[in-house]
Amino acid sequence: MADTPPLFHAPGSTSVIRSGQIIGWRKNGAPIRLQAGGAVDGMSEEELRALPVGVPLVTAGKALLMGRTKAHELARAGQFPVKTLQVGTRYIVPKIELLRYLGLGPDAPAGITEAAS
C-alpha cells in the first residue's frame, strides 16, 4: 500500500504513532494531533541514520510525520515530542534523541518496527 504513511511504535509502548493521533493537549484543553502535512511519506531508516548530528526542526518533524507549522508550534510551546535546542531563532533536534524516540537508538535492533495493517 503505497498510499499508507509509515507507522512507528512509540518507544516503550505497543501503541502505534499515526497521523491524526492525539500527541498532547493545549492549555485550553484542546487536543494536539499529529499532522502529516507535507510529510506523508516520513523518512526511511537509511535517511534517518544519514541525518547530521544536529537535525533541523522541520526535518525532525518530517521524520515524525508532522508538517513545518506543527513542528514549530510544538517547539515554541515546549511540547515537541523530542528534545529541542534553540540556537538563536532556529530549533535543532539532537539526532540521537530523534533516533531513540523512533526506536533506532544505538542499543535498538536494526530496522524500523512497522505495524502490520
97 HSE (CA, 13 A, CB side) = 15
Residues 59-117 pLDDT 10s:
999 888 888 999 999 999 999 999 999 999 999 999 999 998 888 877 655 544 444 33
For the cut 60, the answer to whether the pLDDT of residue 26 exceeds it is yes
Distance of CA 62 to the CA centre of its chain: 7
Asked if 117 and 1 count as a contact pair (C-beta separation under 8 A), the reply is yes
Give the Å distances, CA to CA, from 93 to 1, 14, 31, 58: 30, 25, 23, 10
